[in-house]
Amino acid sequence: MGVPPSPPPQGRPVEGNLVRRLPKLLCSLLLVASGAPDTRSVTPLGQIVPAPASVRPGGEPYVISARTVIRVPGQSREARKARTAAEQLAGVLRPSTGYRLPVTTRGGRDGIVLKLGGDRGLGAEGYRLDSSRASVTIIAPKAAGLFYGLQTLRQLLPASVEKAERQPGPWKVAGGTITDEPRFAYRGAMLDVSRHFFTVEQVKRYIDQMTLYKINTLHLHLSDDQGWRIAVDSWPRLATYGGSTQVGGGPGGYYTKDDYREILRYAADRQLEVVPEIDMPGHTNAALASYAELNCNGVAPPLYTGTDVGFSSLCVPKDVTYDFIDDVVRELAELTPGRYLHIGGDEAHSTSHEDYVAFMDKAQAVVGKYGKTVVGWHQLTGAKPVKGAVAQYWGTAGTEQEVVDAAKAGTKLVLSPANRIYLDMKYNENTPLGLSWAGYVEVRQSYDWDPGAYIKDTPSSAILGVEGPLWSETLSTSDHIEFMAFPRLPGVAELGWAPPSAHDWESYRTRLAAQGPRWEALGIDYYRSPQVPWPGK
Ligand code: TNX
């Protein structure tokens, strides 16, 4: 058994008058006199987010130096993926340390060593990290595990390692062993690129931020009333006209297929699966505005730049609706390497229940026809979810009977309770961005619940994972994204990754606080929650 990870932050600059400093000074003298290693400037092994499954501190730290080599032996596909991850880490470390840090296929026992193998029980995403005087060795059955081990290593280094200019070291990694694997397979973040469009570069920036915390799924909300954001060759006006504006009337935008492939490539290099969402039958004004024939009355409505929901619907009785869905789903499925295709299905207030059920039957069949697994917002459970479908829960109570029944019948759930992890909810009444229909969501409120016990009468085994959606009615820049996602997104990641035994607010707020300087080094804007003991505050 490892030690639960709850160490206090260490290594803060000594402040205050001599009287206050005296105990610390004495302590340092004693340490030096006793020959014990000076670990004050080292991040304690368990002080990372998400909390690792097991931590066994001990032994001397590893010190990254000018001679450090990153070893990733092997020629398999997995080994090549691991080398990509190693190059990414080296890309972070080289500017700040000033060291060469070559990535090599040559084996050896010293340096930073990434090895495929080890305990297969760790699964596709687990890893073990051993840190000692000679090396930091990460061993994992799959490249994904090595990637996550590297994210852990990154957090164990001082925050200044994230800076783009050379910084003073030392670059120590505390000694000991971390053995780690995720609690849930699905750990997601959603970005609404429809209400406001975000460029490929902005999406990549958010991807970089989510991978720090071992998030493995990026859900892109690609269509809504205010904008259609993905090129569809067989219905070109969806993007060129339907994507031509956004909330507030700005120019909007859309991803060409090459843009989208670039997002997919960037995501895959960071172990992220992308889940594309085309929301239907509601939330479809942008499509209805682009093609008159999709409307029951044959008249295209104007483009919409407000923030109301629930006023639009595809025309359920018309055949052309299903030609449209077939084309869109086929083209999107062709682009998508991942398993899932999200068909929305929320807030279809302008569709009768009967029509909704009939529509969802047909739409789910199309997704199946093109080889993808259906994901829908949890209203799908009020229709007839197909076998294998996943429902994304966004309510606030966890008691809806149709959700409970669907879970019992085998529908897996992704949990995004709005009063917990809707990242667009304001933190408090003074938050300048965001909405508040599900209440204010401070950091503790966001973190302090158990996804395994959240849905009434439903065992943890029915839960595929968690996802933090970021709706963008009020958000239009990367700073906006970051201010709402940080510090809550790392909490989503911890809920998805850490074992229930590690769930502890006091430990979490301390570990989260230690992330603040890292975000500052990375230029990530974040909400300085008074619930978190940020260093130097
Ligand atoms: C509900 S959640 C919505 C979105 C809004 C969001 C704002 C869901 C499936 N629908 O259309 O953007 O609330 O918080």
Residue 34 burial (CB count, 10 A): 8
pLDDT at position 348 is 76
Q: How many helices (H) and strands (E) does the chain have?
A: 16, 18
pLDDT at position 347 is 84
Ligand 1: centre distance to CA 271 (Å): 27
Cα–Cα distance between 286 and 301 in angstroms, integer? 9
Residue 93 burial (CB count, 10 A): 22
pLDDT at position 536 is 82
Q: For ligand 1, what atom is nearest to the CA of residue 438?
A: 14
Condensed to tens digits (0 to 9), the pLDDT of residues 474-533 reads: 999 999 999 999 999 999 999 999 999 999 999 999 999 999 999 999 999 999 999 999
Condensed to tens digits (0 to 9), the pLDDT of residues 165-193 reads: 999 999 999 999 999 999 999 999 999 99
pLDDT at position 23 is 45
pLDDT at position 105 is 97
pLDDT at position 322 is 98
Average pLDDT on 330-336 reads 98
Q: How far is CA 287 from the centre of its chain?
A: 28
Cα–Cα distance between 418 and 295 in angstroms, integer? 31
Helices 353-369 + 319-335 axis angle, to 10? 40
Average pLDDT on 460-474 reads 98
Condensed to tens digits (0 to 9), the pLDDT of residues 82-131 reads: 999 999 999 999 999 999 999 999 999 999 999 999 999 999 999 999 99
* From 419, 471, 474, mutation site for ligand 1 pocket: most ligand atoms within 8 A of C-beta: 471
- Cβ proximity of 96 and 160 under 8 Å: yes
Which H helix or E strand runs over 263? helix 257-268
Q: What is the residue-wise DSSP string for 378-439?
A: GGGGGS-PPTT-EEEE--SSS--HHHHHHHHTT-EEEE--HHHH-TTB-SSTT-SSSB-TT-
Categorize the per-residue pLDDT at 377 as very low, low, confident or very high, splitting at 50, 70 and 90: very high
Write the CB contacts of 86 (distance below 8 Å, at least 6 apart in sequence): 70, 72, 103, 112, 114, 150
Please state, rounded to an integer, the average pLDDT across all residues of the chain: 93
- Cβ proximity of 337 and 304 under 8 Å: no
Ligand 1: centre distance to CA 394 (Å): 8
Condensed to tens digits (0 to 9), the pLDDT of residues 365-375 reads: 999 999 999 99
Name the CATH topology of 186-522.
TIM Barrel (3.20.20)
pLDDT at position 10 is 35
Between 20 and 225, the higher pLDDT residue: 225
Which H helix or E strand runs over 265? helix 257-268
Q: Give, using CA atoms, the residue closest to atom 4 of ligand 1.
A: 471
pLDDT at position 427 is 98
Sign of the CA dihedral 345, 349, 353, 359?
negative
Residues forming a β-bridge with 192? 221
Q: Domain 41-180 has what CATH class?
A: alpha beta
Q: Give, using CA atoms, the residue closest to atom 11 of ligand 1.
A: 309
- Amino acid 329 reads V
Cα–Cα distance between 146 and 80 in angstroms, integer? 11
Q: Give, using CA atoms, the residue closest to atom 9 of ligand 1.
A: 346
**Residue 186 three-state SS:** strand
- The catalytic position among 87, 347, 400, 402 is 347
Q: For ligand 1, what atom is nearest to the CA of residue 437?
A: 14
pLDDT at 143 over 80: yes
pLDDT at position 537 is 57
| Residue 347 is a catalytic residue | yes
Q: pLDDT over 70 for what percent of the chain? A: 92
Residue 112 burial (CB count, 10 A): 25
As for ligand 1, residues whose beta carbon falls within 6 Å of it are 309, 346-347, 377, 394, 422, 424, 435, 471, 473
Helices 77-97 + 143-156 axis angle, to 10? 10
Condensed to tens digits (0 to 9), the pLDDT of residues 275-330 reads: 999 999 999 999 999 999 999 999 999 999 999 999 999 999 999 999 999 999 99
Write the CB contacts of 516 (distance below 8 Å, at least 6 apart in sequence): 526, 528, 532, 534, 535
pLDDT at position 4 is 41
| Residue 529 CA: distances (Å) to CA of 136, 189, 511 | 34, 21, 14
Cα–Cα distance between 16 and 13 in angstroms, integer? 10
Domain ranges of the chain: 41-180, 186-522
Residue carrying structure tokens 């158990």: 450
**Residue 283 three-state SS:** coil
Ligand 1: centre distance to CA 471 (Å): 7
Q: For ligand 1, what atom is nearest to the CA of residue 344?
A: 9
